[in-house]
């Protein structure tokens, strides 16, 4: 009964209902945006949009699915060169150029990888693939190692950003990555990852708003004297508030993320879950040896842990300061301030920022960063450290909420 009352207090407030409606609306808008931005260029050089284009993209890309072996890479280069030699590609007429582009859509993802593999480590040049010949296919995977090594030796690159042990770690991770990569249509995961961090951040802000008043409202409504003088006022009732907050985080977060996931994957498809993240343009440089499916699980549980910690901090401030207004600012500060500080481009500061709680909401970006930390003589990426640190801190926050609220004295 007490739990029902606490949960009801959270969800009957008009402001909280509006916040949940904003979250739902944001998910709808983002999914709609992903669909509307998907396009297909037909054989007449005309752009098509809508749900029908997704099927055409899938069919075209699945024709190039399989292991990215030397033969497959050579085949892509041959086809790219054949298309480049056509009158349509060489024409100055935009419509003719679009027709030529339409023939490349099936292997476009692989073309992007070619631009990275044969281009500079730090810059993006979309014309690199146009200068390749089939006999260069054997350099596809070795070039990934060579470009990293070159970048780590450059003064304007990574030479001064990492210790010798960290450089060796990166090289080892690259070398140990299983090749050849498996590739297939994976637009569902690419689109999902594109806005997963945004959904997690919006959810964290909404949860902060929902839970900011769990403790503070008793003082705002002048009901604290009655609350503390009740039989369970300094024991079970407080634990009920804590549990209500954690339950709210769990239900709202998983409802939001699973609804977003179901919508995106339902529309674009679940194919590509076993592809390594390096088989896409966004993940090519990553040193994490994971698949799209594994990255998705990391995003889900990282975001959940981040929301638990941030909302726990909100509830702790609410309990300590007796102010929901002050408490609700906590998620904003945790998310916005690190983003502002990142522009300072300091290696030391970047290491610190790489371990702040907002990173848990951005796992899809974290797995692409080269944030490395040495602990006990071993080098680790940021992901396992973030998980261990904030799991511990979240467990610490729970009793802190209880004892902070319990010790308040009621004054007239």
Instruction: List pLDDT tens digits, range 25-69.
Output: 999 999 999 999 999 999 999 999 988 899 999 999 999 999 999
Which pLDDT value is given to residue 197? 96
pLDDT tier at 215, thresholds 50, 70, 90: low
pLDDT band for position 321 (50/70/90)? confident
Average pLDDT score over residue span 121-145:
93
The residue that leads in pLDDT, 341 or 22, is 22
Average pLDDT for 398-402: 81
Identify which has the larger pLDDT, 400 or 177: 177
How high is the mean pLDDT of the chain?
89
**Higher per-residue confidence, 135 vs 227:** 135
- Which of 130, 114, 111, 107 has its CA nearest to residue 57? 107
Residue 272 has pLDDT above 80, yes or no: yes
Question: What was the pLDDT predicted at 194?
Answer: 95
The confidence score (pLDDT) of residue 27 equals 98
Has this prediction a pTM greater than 0.95?
no
Dist CA 20 CA 337 (whole Å):
24
The Cα-based distances of 302 to 20, 97, 257, 399 in angstroms read 21, 44, 12, 22
pLDDT at 293: 97
pLDDT above 80 (res 266): yes
Domain definitions of the chain by residue range: 2-35+185-406, 66-163
Query: CA-to-CA distance for 89 and 110, rounded, in angstroms?
Result: 19
Rounded-to-10 torsion of CA 197, 199, 205, 211: -120
Three-class DSSP labels, 5-55: HHHHHHHHCHHHHHHHHHHHHHHHHHHHHHHHCCEEECCCCCEEECHHHHH
User: What is the structure's pLDDT at 226?
Assistant: 43
Confidence of residue 409 (pLDDT cuts 50, 70, 90): very low
Q: Mean per-residue pLDDT for 354-381?
A: 95
The per-residue pLDDT for 232 is 42
Beta pairing class for 372-375 and 66-67: unpaired
What percent of the chain is modeled with pLDDT above 70?
A: 91
Of 73-77, 226-230, 276-280, 307-311, least confident by mean pLDDT is 226-230
Identify the weakest region by mean pLDDT among 182-196, 227-241, 283-297.
227-241
Measured CA to CA, the distance from residue 254 to residue 131 in angstroms comes to 47
pLDDT at 47: 94
Predicted pLDDT of residue 400: 86
């Amino acid at each position: 009964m007490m739990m029902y009352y606490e949960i009801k207090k959270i969800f009957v407030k008009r402001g909280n209902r509006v916040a949940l409606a904003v979250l739902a609306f944001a998910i709808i808008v983002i999914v709609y945006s992903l669909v509307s931005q998907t396009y297909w260029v037909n054989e007449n050089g005309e752009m098509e949009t809508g749900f029908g284009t997704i099927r055409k993209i899938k069919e075209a890309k699945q024709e190039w699915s399989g292991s990215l072996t030397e033969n497959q890479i050579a085949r892509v280069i041959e086809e790219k060169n054949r298309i480049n030699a056509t009158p349509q590609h060489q024409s100055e007429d935009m419509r003719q150029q679009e027709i030529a582009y339409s023939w490349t859509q099936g292997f476009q993802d692989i073309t992007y990888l070619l631009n990275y593999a044969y281009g500079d480590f730090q810059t993006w040049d979309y014309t690199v693939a146009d200068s390749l010949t089939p006999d260069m296919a054997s350099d596809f995977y070795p070039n990934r190692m060579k470009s990293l090594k070159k970048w780590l030796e450059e003064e304007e690159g990574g030479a001064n950003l990492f210790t010798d042990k960290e450089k060796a770690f990166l090289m080892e991770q690259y070398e140990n990555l299983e090749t050849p990569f498996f590739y297939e249509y994976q637009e569902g995961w690419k689109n999902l990852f594109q806005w997963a961090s945004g959904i997690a951040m919006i959810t964290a802000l909404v949860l902060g708003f929902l839970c900011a008043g769990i403790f503070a409202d008793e003082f705002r409504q002048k009901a604290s004297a009655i609350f503390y003088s009740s039989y369970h006022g300094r024991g079970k009732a407080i634990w009920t508030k804590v549990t209500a907050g954690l339950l709210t985080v769990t239900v709202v977060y998983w409802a939001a993320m699973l609804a977003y996931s179901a919508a995106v994957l339902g529309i674009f498809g679940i194919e590509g879950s076993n592809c390594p993240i390096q088989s896409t343009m966004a993940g090519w440089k990553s040193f994490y040896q994971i698949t799209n499916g594994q990255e998705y699980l990391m995003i889900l549980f990282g975001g959940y842990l981040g929301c638990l910690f941030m909302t726990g901090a909100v509830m702790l401030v609410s309990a300590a300061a007796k102010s929901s207004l002050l408490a609700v600012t906590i998620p904003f500060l945790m998310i916005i301030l690190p983003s502002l500080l990142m522009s300072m481009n300091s290696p030391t500061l970047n290491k610190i920022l790489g371990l702040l709680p907002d990173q848990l909401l951005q796992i899809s970006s974290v797995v692409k960063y080269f944030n490395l930390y040495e602990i006990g003589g071993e080098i680790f990426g940021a992901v396992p450290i973030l998980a261990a640190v904030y799991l511990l801190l979240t467990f610490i926050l729970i009793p802190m909420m209880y004892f902070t609220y319990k010790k308040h004295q009621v004054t007239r």
